[in-house]
């Protein structure tokens, strides 16, 4: 009995020491998980906005162009639908960021750039036939490492080398076949 009491007295404070040693590691891991969750949430919003905007915008292409693709070029379709795609994408993004007007709003404290910079609409050419067959909407938040949601130095500072584990841009993309 006296041996077990002596053993207990020697272990007094060991839990506190273990906590002091492990708590910083646990906090850094928790911080990394939260940071990546925010990045994945932003990418998910951008994906959703790209898909919804392109889906809602196809009704605004003229029927002649839509049903007889060879009677108009991809540039004509793109010129007709680009403003509508941007407006629809901004409206979807504003549903999450509480922006107003043409301002996409702020996401996790970062002010999103203007719609013309954030939302890119282009055509994709078919490598086999060479004709433009798809409309692509990309929502791209450039320069994420310069203006991150949370400080990235905490995680990057613990890793060897100069490379960052965080992306330079957050992207959401949707493609719609036009013919």
Q: Tokens 């965080």 map to which residue? A: 166
143 near 117, Cβ under 8 Å?
Answer: no
Q: Tell me how many degrees the CA angle 163-167-91 measures, rounded to the nearest 5.
A: 165
pTM of the model as a whole: 0.78
14 pLDDT more than 90: no
* CA dist., res. 20 & res. 10, Å (int): 18
pLDDT digits (tens, 9 = 90+) for 29-66: 898 899 999 999 999 999 999 999 888 877 665 555 55
**Between 13 and 9, residue with greater pLDDT:** 13
- Average pLDDT, whole number, for the chain? 81
Q: State the CB neighbour count (10 A cutoff) for residue 45.
A: 19
**Between 78 and 46, residue with greater pLDDT:** 46
* Rounded-to-10 torsion of CA 90, 94, 99, 104: -30
């Amino acid at each position: 009995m006296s041996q077990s009491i002596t053993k207990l007295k020697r272990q007094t404070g060991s839990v506190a020491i273990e906590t002091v040693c492990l708590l910083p590691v646990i906090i850094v891991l928790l911080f990394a998980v939260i940071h990546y969750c925010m990045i994945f949430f932003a990418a998910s919003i951008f994906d959703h906005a790209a898909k919804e905007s392109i889906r809602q915008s196809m009704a605004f292409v003229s029927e002649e162009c839509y049903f007889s693709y060879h009677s108009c070029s991809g540039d004509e379709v793109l010129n007709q639908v680009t403003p509508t795609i941007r407006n629809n994408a901004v409206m979807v993004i504003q549903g999450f960021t509480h922006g107003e007007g043409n301002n996409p709003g702020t996401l996790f404290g970062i002010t999103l750039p203007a719609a013309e910079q954030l939302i890119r609409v282009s055509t994709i050419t078919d490598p086999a036939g060479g004709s433009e067959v798809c409309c692509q909407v990309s929502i791209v938040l450039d320069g994420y490492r310069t203006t991150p949601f949370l400080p990235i130095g905490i995680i990057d500072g613990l890793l060897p080398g100069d490379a960052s584990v965080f992306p330079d841009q957050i992207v959401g993309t949707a493609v719609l076949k036009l013919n």
